[in-house]
Amino acid sequence: MGLFQRGPRVPRWRSRDEDAAMTTEIEAYTGAGLLRGRLAGPDRLADLLETLDSLAFERPSLDPIDGGPRETQSRAVVETDDLLLVVCPAETLTPVHASWHALTLSIGPFSVACELPTLPGYDPGRSLTRPGGPFVMLGRVMVGLRAAPDAGQAEHAFAWVNRYAVEAYEADIDLGAYFPGARSTAPAPAPA
C-alpha cells in the first residue's frame, strides 16, 4: 500500500477502555481514495493537522478510487501532506458569525463544491489576514470524482481542505492567498 507507512509499535500503558475514550475518528480524502481510521490521544483533530507532519492511524482502511477492494491495516502512519480533504468531527468548533462564499475546488482526483467562511466585510485585496496553517475549514461540502461527475457526491457539513494541494478554484472573491499555486477559474469580470 503506497499511502501507508508502517507505524512504530507503541507499548500499551492504558487500559482498552481508556484507549477507546481517547481516540478521534477520522475520515479523509487522499489521492488514492477515502481513508478512515482512528487517531489515539486527547488532542483535537484540528490541532493535529496544523502541528504534525504525519498522523498515526489505528485500524485504518482505504477505499480506493478505482473501486478496488478495501485495504486495511492494524496501524499506519500517513503524512498530512497526503490528506487532501479531512472531514470535521461533530465536536469541531465552527464559525458562528461569518460571511459564506460559494467555492468550487479541484484537488487531486476530486471536485469539491463548498462554502468558505470569512469575517463579515472581508476584503481580500485590503486584508492583512491570511490563513496560518496548511488546512482551511469549509462548510456545506460536496465531494465528487472529477473523472466521473455522474457517480454521485458525498456530503459533509464541514471539512478542512489542504490549501497547498488545491489545483484550481472558482469563487466570488480573490482567494489567491488562501490557495497558493492554485489557478483561479472564475470568469473574468465584464469591462465597465
Q: How far is CA 42 from CA 21, 106, 143, in A?
A: 9, 33, 29
Kindly state whether residues 67 and 120 are assigned to the same domain: no
Kindly state whether residues 54 and 121 are assigned to the same domain: no
pLDDT for the residue numbered 153: 94
CA distance 74 to 54: 17
Kindly state whether residues 161 and 111 are assigned to the same domain: yes
Kindly state whether residues 121 and 172 are assigned to the same domain: yes
Q: Which residues on neighbouring strands pair with residue 114, listed in sequence order?
A: 103
CA distance 48 to 56: 10
Kindly state whether residues 78 and 39 are assigned to the same domain: yes
Domain count of the fold of the chain: 2
* Residue 7 belongs to some domain of the structure: no
Choose the final residue of a domain: 55, 82, 109: 82
| Full pLDDT tens readout for the chain, 192 residues | 455 454 444 444 444 444 445 688 999 999 999 999 999 878 899 999 999 999 999 999 999 998 899 999 999 999 999 999 999 998 888 888 888 889 999 999 999 999 998 877 777 666 656 677 899 999 999 999 999 888 889 999 999 999 999 999 999 888 878 898 899 987 666 565
Kindly state whether residues 152 and 78 are assigned to the same domain: no
Kindly state whether residues 115 and 76 are assigned to the same domain: no
Tell me the pTM.
Answer: 0.83
Kindly state whether residues 103 and 172 are assigned to the same domain: yes
What's the distance, CA 62 to chain centroid?
A: 15
* Residue 10 belongs to some domain of the structure: no
Q: Which domain holds residue 77?
A: 16-82
* Residue 151 belongs to some domain of the structure: yes
* Residue 93 belongs to some domain of the structure: no
CATH number at residue 72: 2.30.30
Q: How far is CA 119 from CA 62, 95, 158, in A?
A: 36, 9, 17
Kindly state whether residues 109 and 58 are assigned to the same domain: no
Kindly state whether residues 125 and 150 are assigned to the same domain: yes
Give the phi and the psi of residue 191 in degrees, each rounded to 5: -65, 145
Kindly state whether residues 109 and 78 are assigned to the same domain: no
* Residue 4 belongs to some domain of the structure: no
Q: Cβ–Cβ contacts within 10 Å for residue 90, how many?
A: 8
pLDDT for the residue numbered 99: 85
CA distance 130 to 133: 9
Return the C-alpha cell found at 184.
483561479
Q: How far is CA 19 from CA 49, 72, 150, 158, in A?
A: 20, 20, 41, 26
pLDDT for the residue numbered 14: 42
pLDDT for the residue numbered 16: 47
Kindly state whether residues 113 and 44 are assigned to the same domain: no
